[in-house]
Amino acid sequence: MLSYRHGYHAGNHADVLKHAVYAFCLAYLTKKPKPLLLLDTNAGGGLYDLESAEARKTGEADAGVRRIVGRPDPPDLIAPYLALLESLNPDGLLSTYPGSPAIALAGARAEDRVALYELHGTENSVLEQFVGARRNTSIVKGDGLEGLLALTPPRERRMLALIDPSYEIKTEYETVVQAVAKAWSKFPTGTYVLWRPVIERARVDAMAERLRRSGVKSVYDIELCMAPDAAGRGMTGSGLYVVNPPYTLPEAIDRAMRWLADALDAGGPTYAGWLVPPDRP
């Protein structure tokens, strides 16, 4: 039984990192005039109200996205994310927050295809309402990892996949890596953005080791933690494995990480570098 609802956490520090990098990848990949598949294995509700009872209950956005909007001198990496936040909140009050489907729909061109998987019945209905009828866009109430395997290789021969589970089921730390490795073996040129929380360091280390041994190449690792590792303290940070990142990501990330760490007052480990380097030609 799934109980995770992203509305409680929308706009938190993990969303800021994930959504900034996802929007950056999308902006990069849509520069090329060729169709793209945007695949979201764990879509959530799509768009969030930061003034809702759920969001107010945790106040996580106050320590997340609300600390970065309006801050001077933003780095290039977060420009696409900030532009979307500004366009959704023209009054500057930051009450509307884009989940990954809203980012995908804002960045997708007419020729792109968007596939959104959401297993939770309530979230799926919210997502359907948000998306409405839209060309080249499908919402599936089904397992996103099965969807990832079913849709690779994509007919477009270009893909940006976001894999963003809630890790409610502990075996997900293994199954996501297996699914990404399998999808990659079917389609090694896709860009895969795989999110992970930092709750217990041992789980992250084991996940990284699994990915390293999986055979997947060109894996860029990014992590931003709010507090030092501490078991039993909940999520102290989060990270992303980006398979086949835009070549501009490694050069843009350093300044972005410093700026984000300052803005979010991050006091934990921060890292960006290759987990598995690309094969040299």
Catalytic residue numbers, as ranges: 164
Nearer to ligand SAM, 164 or 223 (CB): 164
Check binding of 144 to ligand SAM (CB under 6 A).
yes
- Alpha-carbon span 87 to 101, nearest angstrom: 16
Report the DSSP beta bridge partners of residue 194. Answer: 163, 241
Report the DSSP beta bridge partners of residue 32. Answer: none
Contacts of ligand SAM in 93-112 (CB under 6 A): 99-100
Check binding of 152 to ligand SAM (CB under 6 A).
no
The binder of ligand SAM chosen from 13, 120, 158, 196 (CB under 6 A): 120
CA nearest to 69, candidates 54, 57, 56, 81: 81
Report the DSSP beta bridge partners of residue 37. Answer: 113, 159
State the minimum distance, in angstroms, from the CB of residue 151 to ligand SAM.
13
Q: In what helix (H) or strand (E) does residue 281 lie, and over which residues does it extend?
A: none
**DSSP reduced 3-state for 163:** strand
The binder of ligand SAM chosen from 117, 173, 187, 259 (CB under 6 A): 117
From its phi and psi, is residue 125 left (phi > 0), alpha (psi between -120 and 50) or beta?
alpha
Q: In what helix (H) or strand (E) does residue 247 lie, and over which residues does it extend?
A: none
The binder of ligand SAM chosen from 49, 62, 128, 143 (CB under 6 A): 143
Nearer to ligand SAM, 11 or 245 (CB): 11
The binder of ligand SAM chosen from 25, 74, 80, 164 (CB under 6 A): 164
Contacts of ligand SAM in 37-66 (CB under 6 A): 41-44
Check binding of 85 to ligand SAM (CB under 6 A).
no
- Alpha-carbon span 37 to 279, nearest angstrom: 24
Residues that bind ligand SAM (CB under 6 A): 2, 4, 6, 41-44, 99-100, 117-120, 123, 143-144, 164-166
